[in-house]
Structure formats: structure tokens, C-alpha cells
Amino acid sequence: METTPQYLTEIDVADITKLSLSTLRNDRFHGKGIPYIKIGRSVRYSLQDVTDFMEALKVQTEAK
């Protein structure tokens, strides 16, 4: 059974990632950062895209 994708506002994404709203907006302006959806003047981010973006930044360390 398919689940409906969850979409987040830029405020939600800023809270999750700890990036400022201005950083998210600047990244969108320059065509970089987290993929987003534009509906009129509203911006939404897929929860999966946010998760994928954060996972891509993960730094692997050696376990000792």
C-alpha cells in the first residue's frame, strides 16, 4: 500500500535542519540545496527530500 508523501513548509524544514530561513531562500534563489515544490507563492519540501539531503551530508567515522 502506497503512502501519501508528506510535505513541509520552509519553517518546518528550517526547524528540522537548523538552517535559517534566509539560507533556504538563498539556496532556492541560486538553484541549490534541498529540492522543493512551488505552488503559487507557497514553497513546500518533501520530507523524503529533506531526509535524503541530510543523509547525503553524513560524515562516516571509523569505529574504534
Q: For 13-62, how does the pLDDT look when each residue is reduced to its tens digit (9 = 90+)?
A: 999 999 999 999 999 999 999 999 999 999 999 999 999 999 999 999 98
By the 10 Å C-beta count (0-12 exposed, 13-18 middle, 19+ buried), 13 is classed as buried
Q: What is the DSSP letter of 33?
A: S
Predicted local confidence at residue 1, as pLDDT = 64
Stated pTM of the model? 0.84
Edge-to-edge strand order for the sheet containing 37-39?
7-8, 42-46, 37-39
